[in-house]
Structure 1
Amino acid sequence: MSPANREKITVIGTGNYAISISKLFLHHGHEVIFGSRNPNLNYLKQNLSEFNERNFNVFSIEDAWMQSESIIFLAILADEAIYENFAEKICQLLSRSNKQTSKIIVEISNWTDKNQQISNAERLQNLFKDKLDEKSILSKINVIKAFNLINAYSLSNPFESPTKANLANLEFRVPVAGDSEQAKQKLIDLCAQVGILAYNYGDLQDSLQLEKTNSTTFSEWKIPSLISFGFLAFNFIWVFLIYFYFPKKPQSFSEYLADFSLLSHTNKVLGFTTLNLLAFVYFAYVIASIFQLKYGTKYQKFPSWLDNWLKSRKQLGLLAFLIGTFHAIASLFVTNPQYLKDWHYKLSNGVGRMTLNGELNILTGITAYLLMIIVALTSINSIGNSLNWSEWRFVQSKMGISCLTMGLVHDALMYFRIYNEKDENNYSLVYLVTRVKLIAIYFPLMVLISRFILAYCTPISRRLELIRNGSVTCNQKEN
């Protein structure tokens, strides 16, 4: 489309967002008309100095409205009085004008009042309904919600230095909500002209959800964070107590505290939490598979608690990686003869070389952590999106299970050095449930065994494959 045939864009407002969105359209050859209560062309020239001055101008709000073709971006503060004043001006203008053409108002603000029952876009639409008596005029004003999920900095940053490299990295996705299908499609088509993917989100009443989205802070992370750090705090307390109440040798509490190392204790807790939290992530798959085997179909919904668990695996996995990183850093300080005497030989000159068991422990720990880094990186959208489904699944499933396996071996090797101890507690029930390094193995081992059965036990794996291929019931498929 030649510049002469490109639609003239009107932007009401001259703030940061108005400037940012104008750069987007100016860069692609559109002419932009600004509307302002205090028109100041010199201000615009300073902020849009990289663009031809003939392609933009500023007028009063009324004049900008009259010069607009069809799409008007409303980039002003979503204050009740300001919106009221804007609607009043436009309604007076429409009442006096004989020329009535359809206008699309793109409302881009976000929800600010937590007690608000409707979106800002709906509020603006209601203002026009209240002030315009003639339905013929009202029908020519279509308020739609869009662009509120993209901040001004992200929108304008690629055009600060408009190179091909910057423009190639645009990954904006714009949901569009409104009651007029024609108006929404016109904006979607306009976005396509400037390289932005816009899609139909729903009716105008759905715009409240769009506005709330930008007002929430890490809503998907709240429950996974509570689970992860609650589990970490719980482990810190019970591991502290269990070493006192079930010691290898009886001792008083004062003796226990005298020999207590906060760093060493914290490092044990971090390792225990990381391994079991990672197992908890992959255990969701096991539970989901059991439900599918029970239902005999993939089309029946999981219980809400399981559905939320499955949706939280990304956050839980990344939090496990965070705790694992703390464990790796803390291990750098405690892996020495002063903290881990059993990992080092006692030589005549006083310098202790690390034992084979200690070296294997370090190697398996490093391997597990490197695998966890790869899995964590592919959880980032920009990296994960660069992989196809087979590659992404290989990293998240195969490499993730390998990471869990290596973490289990890492923990088991720490217990191996005391395997040959001959005391009366060995292999007793009390011993098996009070040795922290043993307890850390149980749940991950159960998860790995379950995953192995689901994947390689032919009757079960075959049944799951039939279910996931879309059969309503396995019996129907097999028959």
Structure 2
Amino acid sequence: MPKGMARPLIQERGSRHFETPMLDPGAPPIGILGTGDFSRSLANRLVTCGYRVVVGSRIPKRSVCLFPADAEVTSQIEAASQADLVFIAVYPEHYSTLVELRPVLAGKVLVDVSNGLEIKRHGPSNAEQLADLFPDSFVVKGFNVISAWTLQTGPLDGSRQVFVCGDSSQAKASVTQLCHKMGFTPVDMGPLSSSVEVENIPTLSLSSWSIPLFCSLSLFVFFYLYNFIRDVLQPYIMTGKSLFYKMPIDTVNVTLPCVALVIAGTGLRTPGCVPHSSSCGWGTKYRRFPACLDRWLIQRKQFGLCSFLCAVLHAIYSLCLPMRKSARYKLLNAAFKQVKEGMEDAWIDEEVWRMELYVSVGIMALGLLSLLAVTSLPSVANSINWREFSFIQSTLGYCALSAATTHTLLYGWDRAFSPSHYPFHLPPTFVLVLIPSIVVLLGRLVVLLPCVGTRLRRIRRGWEENRHIRFTLPSNGSCNGPEDISDV
């Protein structure tokens, strides 16, 4: 049971039982120096978890109304004297104002919750500066990635992880125990020198999203301009026909699936094929990949979500196509032309089958992409084991790419062989996007070949081509045979 807590009291309301934490008046309270938003939210959270809280303020009378009634608001020196664990909830530039508390805080645990205003590549960090000011105290970095809103609403509405680092194992153990009691998950980041990286975490803005978003936006601009030149500008230049009304919906709707398929093939699946081919070519798994490939592999989740977003927008745009005025006018003109020419039936089996298959495969591709996107959520990924996660992200991922490629092939049908679909000698966009996706699928098929697959499995289990290591892969895939000898 955490320090400062007494045995919970079981109460009954109707048919439901719940635990109400009881305060232990004899246990040392948790101290907080500072009266800002984070300090108030932290005090409220600690009181809710059953801890005694004492808040140190330069002007206690002005701050007492901002904190819970169960929290004691007093002077800084009195709060520091009562508590054994003290949160330093003041800005780093105000650390010097606490120097007079150095004798009182000696031997106590100080939790630094501050963040920097910019990314630091080297130290000293705020926590290290605090440790220099209080050499007789045990400084622990923690709770800086938790917002005041998360402290108020609970860990279910925000991040659960609290990164903790410090040079004293006992001090980190005290903060870790406190994290557990507050409902968070502590993550030990090592010594206090790691606080530079911990303080940079809240400062990083979309650090893992910058490249995927840039690539997605660049592809969208490229394909949009390409489709605009082919479908809008070329008819206007050649025949004077104005089709600029297509720009808001038609051109966007043709561009979105191009971006989705290129990202799903090249951005999402290519980094998985490159390591396979490299390992087979090198004959070892111990040769390090380039740094750019490592970053690419790490950001595959972001690429996949960008592809999913484009696919969903494409589906929504496609559903909105019949609601446009231009689509209605085209239907009326087609019906009027049919009546004028005396046509009784405009049914074309080939076009009907093409559209039925095209829409059906597209729905399946979107469903598989939705499954991949949902599985990438941390709450879902943590509830399945690695084999299940690998099956969904790898096997079903290639199934989604195959369905999307088939969807594009059915859309193209025989249009790729019609000269009328090559204005300005520019091929249709579906021809361009099919090339990388088909190459990726063919590369996957090569990996599945017995000769390549067996070699790759042996390399994964430690076999190296340029070393004389006796290695036999059992038929059942286990490693219990007497001849399975490899370096670990």
Structures share a fold, TM > 0.5? Answer: yes
CA deviation digits over 1:226-251, x for unaligned, max 9? Answer: 11111121122234345689x8xxx6
Q: Does 1:204 align with 2:225?
A: no
Q: Would you say the 8 A contact 1:10–1:33 is kept in 2?
A: yes
Displacement of 1:101 = 5.3
- Counterpart position of 1:226: 214
C-alpha distance in 1 between matches for 2:346 and 2:381: 45
Aligned partner of 1:77 in structure 2 is 91
Look up the SS of the partner of 1:287 in the other structure: helix
Q: Distance in 1 between matches of 2:141 and 2:380?
A: 30
Of stretches 269-278 and 16-25 in structure 1, the one that deviates more from structure 2 is: 16-25
Whether 1:299 aligns to 2:286 is yes
Task: Supply the AA of the counterpart residue of 2:42.
Answer: I
Aligned residue for 1:27?
Answer: 48
**Cα distance in 2, alignment partners of residues 299 and 256 from structure 1:** 62
| Residues in 1 aligned to 2:316 and 2:283: alpha-carbon distance in whole angstroms | 46
Residue type at the aligned position of 2:40: I
> Cα offset for 1:220?
0.8
Cα distance in structure 1, aligned partners of 2:230 and 2:459: 45
The alpha-carbon distance between structure 1 residues 112 and 259, as it changes in their structure 2 partners (threshold 3 A), is closer
SS of 1:220's equivalent in the other structure is coil
Give the direction of change, closer, same or farther, for the CA distance of 1:437–1:112 in structure 2 (3 Å limit).
closer
Superposed CA RMSD: 3.4
Gaps of 5+ in 1: 129-137, 159-166
Match of 1:253 in 2: 237
Report whether the alignment pairs 1:467 with 2:478.
no
- Rounded Cα–Cα distance in structure 2 between residues aligned with 1:323 and 1:351: 37
Deviation at 1:71, TM superposition (A): 1.1
The match for 1:111 is 116
Report the Cα distance in structure 1 between the residues aligned to 2:241 and 2:62, rounded to whole angstroms: 73
Alignment of 1:52-451 (within 5 A): 53=70, 56-68=71-83, 70-78=84-92, 80=93, 82-87=94-99, 89-91=100-102, 94=103, 102-113=107-118, 118-128=124-134, 138=135, 140-158=136-154, 172-241=160-229, 253-255=237-239, 258-259=242-243, 261-262=246-247, 263-280=249-266, 281-334=268-321, 355-418=352-415, 434-451=427-444
- Asked if 2 retains the 8 angstrom alpha-carbon contact of 1:26 and 1:32, the reply is yes
Instruction: State the distance in 1 between where 2:98 and 2:146 align.
Output: 23
Letter in 1 for 2:31: T
Bigger mean CA deviation after superposition, 229-238 or 147-156: 229-238
CA shift in 2, pair 1:447/1:169, >3 Å: same
Q: How many residues align?
A: 433
Name the SS of the counterpart of 1:318 in structure 2.
helix
Q: Given that residues 118 and 203 in structure 2 are in contact (C-alpha distance below 8 angstroms), is that contact kept between their aligned partners in structure 1?
A: no
SS in 2 for 1:33: strand
2:17 aligns to what? none
Structure 2, unpaired ranges of 5+: 7-23, 473-482, 484-488
- State the Cα deviation string for residues 242-301 of structure 1 (Å, max 9, x = none): 5689x8xxx671526524532322222211121111001111111111112133333332
Task: Quote the Cα distance in structure 2 between the aligned partners of 1:168 and 1:273.
Answer: 35
**What secondary structure is seen at the aligned counterpart in 2 of 1:219?**
coil
For residues 334 and 234 of structure 1, the distance between their equivalents in structure 2, rounded to whole angstroms, comes to: 23
The Cα shift of 1:12 comes to: 1.3
The range that moved more, 435-444 or 142-151, is 435-444
Secondary structure of 2:188's counterpart equals strand
C-alpha spacing 1:207/1:101, structure 2 compared with 1 (3 Å): closer
The share of aligned pairs that are identical, in percent, is 27
From the superposition, tell whether residues 121 and 380 of structure 1 become closer, same or farther in structure 2 (CA, over 3 Å). Answer: same
Deviations 1:332-374, CA, capped at 9 Å, x for gaps: 2336866999xx9996589977722112211111221121111
- Listed one character per residue, the Cα deviations across residues 125-166 of structure 1 (whole Å, up to 9, x for unaligned) are 2334xxxxxxxxx3x3122211000111112213xxxxxxxx
Q: Name the amino acid aligned to 1:157.
A: T
3-state SS of paired residue (2:189):
strand
Counterpart Cα distance in 1 of 2:125 and 2:417: 69
- Tell me, in whole angstroms, the C-alpha distance in 2 between the residues paired with 1:42 and 1:243: 66
Whichever residue aligns with residue 228 of structure 1, its letter is: S
TM-score by length of 2: 0.79
